[in-house]
Structure 1
């Protein structure tokens, strides 16, 4: 079966994804970031055009359900900029939602995720292309267990990949124990985000040996100090034989960050100097094509 990635304009061949920002945000709203929303379609268009100007062809937006995904704008932005955009379903940590919203949807999460993956987000007709969930700091708390259980069910029903926000880069082994050990998700269908925020090489290697994709996706957030140690972390993993599991992203979450063009304008040349162009090309092109592809659903 031919591998496809589900974009906001429809399914495309995975090999057509091109240079990919594997984790970013065009739109984002959260009560923990008051007054710092990403909610301007004009600014989103500027980011996409600038990204394309540096050779970017695809952006995966990890903004999940209930956090201002801008689903009604994504198709138009993708079309006008000439950049593939992948939207997300799923749910973030509980702190990002009003309690009444969580109470209303908690018992039907898997069905909600499946609906947004197969039918569309609301009335927009835009279908999500991945399921985003989140762990807690050094733990999988009750909310994470709830959302990850629903994500696993939705994955098994649709073949969609699962992307995981690791709080400050922690709890990767616990997340994999739950998703892959207990819930039966194949490790290569899991993308672990924010690993660069916790520079623990032993944990990185453990997650890589398990078979998950490893996303180093915070270079636009200067206070996380990811840029200066990124090349060393990636080189260590590539040298250990895990170059085929590495992903790169910008994770723009507030308006004042440099944005997704930073990934290609500044980081890419630095990483090519340290790792070589072939390794960086794999992280930006070949690896995302496999990480974000849908897989055939096994018959029950």
Structure 2
């Protein structure tokens, strides 16, 4: 039987409730100096705020080496009543020191498998998905290395692979590599940030291939995404791909949290959901936020 691996153990997909399919409680990167998500009290308050507007599950895409604070996640989940899914995986090289990347050479897939099956460090928390990243309109050597390791870990465990698309680009290159060359079934791939490059042809091709399409996060001012996203998801739904849509908040810096004055996790349900319900209808919106994540992240664990 398939289950979703949360930080408190495996649960049935139908137990997730309303799901933020891509977000962060903790995150640290050299690319975001001074903007770390590293405050457990703020994370707890953010989960409580999400719960208060009807949220049931948060999938944290923070991968290896970026301040996941996995040991803190079980207590936060219990206190808030929100399921939390934790990621393994590796982001773009720019987020890490060259020394750390070199230390992982030759054993990256093994790290992913261990975190999915045994636990992250001494926390006992097992990851529930693999997160990797592409580049801008291309896959560099680092991306190919991490995706190859992700595919190996997927084949060993069954875990889904979530992919950061840089500014929403490179979706088809990712699918060519993961599914075409590395044998990952398309429905085990979740493509993130497709809203950041609102190309309806690419989105349609990715959906036709069988991947899940994640529209995640309110846009910065220079991204023509928020106002185009409703028509994009409507076009995909009308083409028969409503079952492939996922929604997330992608809170990556402290100032973006609702408890710090930003939109935060509640924004997904306070603002995004009602806006998209006008395009998709209430029934499909409910499925996008509940049934679709249940299928996307559920695994018959090996």
Superposition TM-score, scaled by structure 2 size:
0.96
CA contact (8 A) 1:244 1:287 kept: yes
CA contact (8 A) 2:63 2:131 kept: yes
Gaps of 5+ in 2: 257-262
CA contact (8 A) 1:218 1:224 kept: no
Cα RMSD, aligned residues only:
1.0
TM-superposed deviation, 1:255: 1.2
TM-superposed deviation, 1:267: 1.0
1:53 aligns with 2:52: yes
TM-superposed deviation, 1:224: 3.3
Match of 2:260 in 1: none
Could you tell me how far apart the structure 2 residues matched to 1:128 and 1:182 are? 25
Could you tell me how far apart the structure 1 residues matched to 2:126 and 2:264 are? 24
Match of 2:10 in 1: 11
Match of 1:82 in 2: 81
1:245 aligns with 2:250: no
Could you tell me how far apart the structure 1 residues matched to 2:78 and 2:225 are? 32
Could you tell me how far apart the structure 1 residues matched to 2:103 and 2:177 are? 25
Superposition TM-score, scaled by structure 1 size:
0.97
Could you tell me how far apart the structure 1 residues matched to 2:221 and 2:71 are? 30
Match of 1:274 in 2: 279
Q: Any residues of structure 2 matched to 1:105-254 within 5 Å, and which?
A: 105-219=104-218, 221=220, 223-254=222-253
Could you tell me how far apart the structure 2 residues matched to 1:222 and 1:45 are? 28
Any idea what SS the aligned residue of 1:153 has?
helix
CA contact (8 A) 1:220 1:262 kept: no
TM-superposed deviation, 1:278: 1.2
Any idea what SS the aligned residue of 2:290 has?
helix
Gaps of 5+ in 1: none
Any idea what SS the aligned residue of 2:55 has?
coil
CA contact (8 A) 1:23 1:61 kept: yes
1:287 aligns with 2:297: no
Q: Any residues of structure 2 matched to 1:38-49 within 5 Å, and which?
A: 38-49=37-48
TM-superposed deviation, 1:106: 2.0
Instruction: Tell me: CA distance 1:220–1:80, structure 2 relative to 1, closer, same or farther (3 Å).
Output: farther
TM-superposed deviation, 1:150: 0.3
Could you tell me how far apart the structure 1 residues matched to 2:80 and 2:101 are? 35
Could you tell me how far apart the structure 2 residues matched to 1:153 and 1:222 are? 38
TM-superposed deviation, 1:15: 1.2
Could you tell me how far apart the structure 2 residues matched to 1:210 and 1:225 are? 25
Could you tell me how far apart the structure 2 residues matched to 1:63 and 1:224 are? 23
Any idea what SS the aligned residue of 1:219 has?
coil
Moved over 4 A (4+): 220-223
Could you tell me how far apart the structure 2 residues matched to 1:226 and 1:219 are? 8
Deviates more, 1:202-211 or 1:255-264: 255-264
CA contact (8 A) 1:215 1:248 kept: yes
